[in-house]
Structure 1
Amino acid sequence: MSSVMTSAGAVARHRLFWPIVALAVLLLACVLKSNTFLDITVRDGHLYGGPIDIVRRSSVLLLVALGMTLVIATRGIDLSVGAVMAIAGAVALSQIAASDNPESLAVVLSAIGSAVLVCLLIGVFNGFLVAVVGIQPIIATLVIMTAGRGIAMLITGGQITTVNSAPYKTIATGYWLGLPVAALIAGFFFVAMALITRRTALGVLIESVGINPVASRLAGVRARTIIWTVYILCAFFACIAGFIRSSDIMAADANNAGLFIELDAILAVVIGGTSLAGGKFSLVGTLVGVLVITTLTFSVTILGIPANAVSLFKALVVILVCLLQSPVVRHKLRARRRATAPAPVEVPA
């Protein structure tokens, strides 16, 4: 019996316990409101249903949060991801719109390649400001956050650029093997980064730089290179997320594409247990945090919560999860459980 209690206590102390509980509660609330929410149906060889919608809509936030996790692990922050998404969509759709054959796969791939190159240069710029110039990450990335949408506006000529291209639309609305292409793209990069950071030395190097950059540099770790790498990766993932978002509406909206997504990404990373102080990070935790945020958005709609109270509802849920994860709160809960636990019965010899 004691071993069972010990195992249960270990599970409850895990950093992902409360986020998973929150996710389960949100799913339960949706099921109680709509009995068919978890039903998955097959139509024309494609999977449809509430869980599939959650997975598909999580793809954009997962990509952004993936890069944000690596940046936060180095004690940084990247506020430019939303602007990078806007720039990616603006470059890609403007090039497709200017072509004579927007239905051509070669044209679409060329436009995507151009957008990726531009976004990688933005990542290099962010990394240069942080790693070489020594500017605080929140200030360095604020430059692109502020100027990035202006750059996107210049690219689109101040207009919302729309195109009609079936290959490009497939990125967000297409299906492959019955699953949404957007979810497959996000899943591929998630698995790839999980393998790279845990099967190679990259993850350890990122954590060492986040824990103590000076000691890491003295130990022979190229801290500047690591910091540069994570900002380039963050910009790259934001670029892919920008393709999915612009493909979903087939338009490049410089003002609204990726607006405030950096805040949801930071929340997802924090909910997943990665500390803003840097060091240890968890990509699986980030995935759970993204699912919590996305399911929370679904819950707001399904439960019929008024639109003007959506932000407050999301804030309350996030605050509750973060409080339950807090070391101080968890210590007090453990102390209370120990105080209320029955005293062991002494068996006479």
Structure 2
Amino acid sequence: MLNVAIVGLGYWGPNLLRVFDSMDFCVVKYCCDKDDGVRHTYQQLYPRIVFLSEFEVILNDPDVDAVVIATPVPTHYFFAKQALSSNKHVFVEKPLTLEIEHAIELTELAEQKQLTLMVGHLMLYHPAIEWLKKIIIDGELGQICYLYSQRVNLGRLRSKENAMWSLAPHDISVALYLIGKNPNSVSANGYAYLQPDVEDVAFINLTFESKMAAHIHCSWLDPHKIRKMTVVGEKRMAVFDDMNKEEPIKIYDKGFSAVDDDKNRLISMPYVRFGDIWIPHIPAEEPLMRECKHFLDSIINSTNPISDGRNGIDVLTILHQAQDSMLQSQALSISYE
């Protein structure tokens, strides 16, 4: 039985508390938050858990196996380093840190101490994304040409991070997972309408080897709530719609087919091929439940999580280059640690 401590009960922390508290093979021993009112509220809901404001109590308790960090992004590095230095496994919400150097330091520290460091790239644990990855590996879509995503809504407005930093980590992590490679260049544009120098909308273009590409559109200034990704392959196309809980995946058996005419090699233009639309059954499992279970399984089995520190570094590297691309108004190459 693993003992877990949760740090931060703001926006996302209560969801992590709910899920970890529901699991059979872990116990939430502590919850830490500096807000007295927040602690009082959740103490009524979870009376057996110790709620406190002093993080040092968690660090000094040898019975605590893992620390789950859901604090504001600028504090991720501080809390994660303290926890790893105290020999605790660490789950930290995305992004891993603000600075690449800090992410590298945390990853190397976890590797040195043989501890699990996992980043909350939630969408990697969505059963539909896992299913989509499998059919890509199996060649059902053919060679991937490109993919594009939309993650837009009206709100939730942030003042300390722009829409790209708030929303794009989800789709960047999924793009890397599905394509199976890191991009070698990025170009990005962002526009601030509501607050000075805080972009409300961003468009990111990632270029991979073999002419593969990904386009990511994220915004909190949009009349629609859309969470959708389209993957275009040479054989078939797939659409993942996270807002459609009943039918999150649709496979379109359509595209272009080459002309096979031995008598007339001058005819080389492909023709449009229309086929069926296939809607597979995807288990209705909560991604957050799967993500938290994966973290605990990684600790128990001493295996690397899918969204480990190295994955967190890659996503963070792309975000930084995309931010620089916005500022410089030009495409930039990406080098990885």
TM-score (norm 2): 0.22
TM-score (norm 1): 0.21
Name the structure with the higher helix share.
Answer: 1
